[in-house]
Amino acid sequence: MSKIRAAITGVGGYVPDYILTNQELEKMVETNDEWITTRTGIKERRILKGENQGVSVMGIAAVHDMLAKTKTDPKDIDAIIFATVTPDMTFPATANIVASTIGATNAFSFDMGAACSGFVYALATGSSFIQSGVYKKVIVIGGDKMSAIVDYTDRTTCIIFGDGAGCVLLEPTTEDVGVMDWELRSDGSGEQFLHMKAGGSRNPASIETIAKREHFVYQAGSAVFKFAVTNMADISAQVAERNHLNAGNITWLAPHQANKRIIDATANRVGISEDKVMMNIERYGNTTAGTIPLLLWDYEKKLKKGDNILMAAFGGGFTWGAVYVKWAYNGQ
């Protein structure tokens, strides 16, 4: 019997209208466009404005986009996984809110928290559901409303992050396409370098935690940078090598969009030239779990059946991973 794989059969995305430029940030904190551009590659990012607007708003819009393009009936969806570190609420899961809003009444749904690696973790999980043969249609969403947890007085973090969400539909295939292989890793000792101190069960919200600004992202930037460069490059090379992927047959590298210098280092390690590297960091910044599905959304029209795509991510936890996908349809 042929092996069942999970094929990505559709992509959706959403970014909010509001554009926060480097020039606007120059008026908020001690920074400048030149520093941000040369150190990160970011020119602008999107911000979700308005009362009562959680990450679900962007996830729902991304899923509606994908359902319309693939002409999928939401009642046929078996499972929805939402990778995010900025859920609407601690509970219920944001995936449940998405499911009920889009009418996926036959689906089970849950959130997954693996920070910037959230999408690759969720893609591997959704693919395993499909490979089991039990589930036929799984939606994997990656998205974050980072503006909800970013301190706009901290120039070391507020220039990096943005808001956005993307999603993919997974369906079974016995063709030689789909999610072919992955490697996922984590190291809890990374907690000290990248975390949000309060708001969880260890340090519930209090007047003190608010006064100490502990409900915002803390990042020791240069330490995280070093781990990210090494681990994202190593894991990409590992997945590439065992699948006989190289500069000649990788069609696209789809790297997490945290910093253009980390992206360049990963591409160099796998020997991929810049024209084969998906990139939209200059327009959206780092949308945490949203970066890789938003790349697929932006590049969908250029993708062809059989394209070899290597996804790679590194993030809080620490978490990191790489996924090899053979694209299943022609984008046009």
Residues 8 and 288 sit within 8 Å (Cβ to Cβ): no
| Residue 172 vs 321, nearer CB to ligand UT7 | 321
Cα within 13 Å of Cα(172), Cβ side: 15
Binding of residue 228 to ligand UT7 (CB under 6 A): yes
| Residue 166 vs 315, nearer CB to ligand UT7 | 315
Q: Footprint of ligand UT7 on residues 146-165 (CB under 6 A)?
A: 155-156, 159-160
Residues 101 and 56 sit within 8 Å (Cβ to Cβ): yes
Binding of residue 125 to ligand UT7 (CB under 6 A): no
Q: Which of 22, 96, 116, 259 is catalytic?
A: 116
Stretch that binds ligand UT7, among 35-43, 99-107, 125-133, 143-151 (CB under 6 A): 35-43
CB of 265 to ligand UT7, least distance (A): 11
Q: How far apart are CA 130 and CA 1, in angstroms?
A: 16
Please tell me the count of residues contacting ligand UT7 according to CB under 6 A: 20
Q: At how many degrees (to 10) do helices 291-299 and 118-131 cross?
A: 70
Residue 79 zone, left/alpha/beta (φ > 0; ψ -120 to 50; rest): beta
Q: Which of 141, 254, 258, 278 binds ligand UT7 (CB under 6 A)?
A: 258
| Residue 262 vs 322, nearer CB to ligand UT7 | 262
Q: Which of 22, 286, 287, 319 binds ligand UT7 (CB under 6 A)?
A: 286
Indicate the pairing of strand 308-315 with strand 252-255.
parallel
Q: Which of 4, 39, 181, 197 binds ligand UT7 (CB under 6 A)?
A: 39
The partner residues of 144 in beta bridges, in order of sequence, read: 164
Q: Which of 22, 96, 158, 256 is catalytic?
A: 256
Binding of residue 118 to ligand UT7 (CB under 6 A): no
Q: How far apart are CA 321 and CA 91, in angstroms?
A: 26
CB of 280 to ligand UT7, least distance (A): 14
CB of 268 to ligand UT7, least distance (A): 16
Residues 115 and 85 sit within 8 Å (Cβ to Cβ): yes
Binding of residue 56 to ligand UT7 (CB under 6 A): no
| Residue 26 vs 181, nearer CB to ligand UT7 | 26
CB of 218 to ligand UT7, least distance (A): 12
The partner residues of 171 in beta bridges, in order of sequence, read: 7
Binding of residue 262 to ligand UT7 (CB under 6 A): yes
For residue 318, give the DSSP letter.
Answer: T
CA-based angle 221:324:317, to the nearest 5?
30
116 is catalytic: yes
Binding of residue 127 to ligand UT7 (CB under 6 A): no
286 is catalytic: yes
Instruction: Give every CB contact of residue 149 below 8 A, 6+ residues apart in sequence.
Output: 85, 86, 196, 215, 216, 217
Q: How far apart are CA 133 and CA 174, in angstroms?
A: 11
Instruction: Give every CB contact of residue 97 below 8 A, 6+ residues apart in sequence.
Output: 54, 56, 60, 88
Residues 46 and 164 sit within 8 Å (Cβ to Cβ): yes
Q: Known catalytic residues?
A: 116, 256, 286
Residues at the interface with ligand UT7 (CB under 6 A): 31, 35, 39-40, 116, 155-156, 159-160, 221-222, 224-225, 228, 258-259, 262, 286, 314-315
